[in-house]
Amino acid sequence: MIIAFDIGGTQIRAAEVRAPGVLDPVRSWPTPGADFAAFVGVLREAAAGADRVHLSIAGIVDPVTGRARVANIPCLDGRPLARDLEQLLGCPVLIANDADCFTLAEARSGAGAGHAVVFGVILGTGAGGGLVIGGHLHRGARGVAGEWGHGPVMGRTDVPAWTCGCGLSGCADTVAGARGLERLDAHLTGDGRDSRAVLANWAAGEASAVRAVGLWLDMVSGPLAMVMNVIGPSVAPVGGGLGRDQRLVAALDRAVRARMLAPPDAALLVPALHRVEPGLIGASYLAEGI
Ligand SMILES: [Zn+2]
């Protein structure tokens, strides 16, 4: 029996894996963010009798040291997580980043099924991404391959280089997700509208929202076009809250392809198919060597 977990900053979600991509009903618990013993207690309860445990986590694991970096779950941060959990749960533990799990889910049974190179784009609160090549996760030497949202990439003089959670300034992550769209809208209009209001007004043709989304498309499509040139995916499923807006994904796809070398004629950025539990579904596909 395999139990898949999606470990988020506020919730732990778990389900038995009937087959890769097929889950039993999902259970959830609040995440004990500061108490590792309580955290393990939740996993023990959910994984009683498991032969193996698969984790999607809202953080990264250094592939050399095995240490996790999970900013919003302090009790996991800096810990050699797989090793610690294997000792405490008494079974093998496989761990992957949540954006990587999302991309794996899309590559195996979502919008990327049948594609050799799949680049997953998360436009949630912030920006994230993952890369699956030939069905395998490409995690990179530091475990952060696919994280297109970091590194100062902005060249505009009319937009401040906002400080990013990673410590740098001017990262795509500061403008790319829902908070970023709100920040750009507020910068242009002085309004405090949330991203849904901005997008609803944009769809209705309201001038200030059209300007805000236009600026967003310009700033987000540049880094993504470079990613597409470097990686060469044949599809890039878009997940996260903003990925639910099909009109926005289509506009972003056009903006990205307009900035690419040798762009494809057909859409490259497409809405993700796994809208429900992408972390758990992706975790269900984890295996040794994936
Ligand atoms: Zn950053």
For the chain, give every domain's residue range.
2-100+277-284, 114-271
Q: Ligand 1 center to residue 205 CA distance, Å?
A: 32
Distance 193 CA to ligand 1 centre (A): 24
Q: Do the domains 2-100+277-284 and 114-271 sit in the same CATH topology, yes or no?
A: yes
Task: Give 180 Cα–ligand 1 centroid separation in angstroms.
Answer: 12
Ligand 1 center from residue 163 Cα (angstroms): 8
What is the structure's pLDDT at 187?
97
Higher-confidence residue of 289 and 244: namely 244
For ligand 1, the distance from its centroid to the CA atom of residue 168, given in whole angstroms, is 5
* Sequence-distant (≥ 6) Cβ neighbours of residue 56 within 8 angstroms: 4, 5, 6, 7, 96, 97, 98, 100, 101, 279, 280, 282, 283
Q: What is the CATH number of domain 114-271?
A: 3.30.420.40
User: 60 has which bridge partners?
Assistant: 69
Please check whether residue 12 is in contact with residue 35, taking contact to mean a CB–CB distance below 8 angstroms.
Answer: no
pLDDT at 63 exceeding the cut of 70: yes
Distance CA 250, CA 232 (A): 19
Residue 88 buriedness (CB in 10 A; 0-12 / 13-18 / 19+):
middle
Q: What's the rounded mean pLDDT across residues 94-121?
A: 98
Mean pLDDT across the stretch 229-254? Answer: 97
The reported pLDDT for the residue numbered 30 is: 98
Provide the mean pLDDT of the chain: 96
With bands split at pLDDT 50, 70 and 90, how would you rate the model's confidence at 152? Answer: confident
202 alpha carbon to ligand 1 midpoint, in Å? 27
2-100+277-284, CATH topology level: Nucleotidyltransferase; domain 5 (3.30.420)
**pLDDT higher than 90, residue 156:** no
pLDDT at residue 154, as a whole number: 66
What is the 110 CA–ligand 1 centroid distance (Å)?
A: 28
Distance (angstroms) between ligand 1 centre and the Cα of 166 equals: 4
Residues 179-227 have pLDDT tens digits of: 999 999 999 999 899 999 999 999 999 999 999 999 999 999 999 999 9
Q: What is the model's pTM? A: 0.95
pLDDT digits over 10-42, tens only?
A: 999 999 999 999 999 899 999 999 999 999 999
Distance of CA 171 from the midpoint of ligand 1 (Å): 5
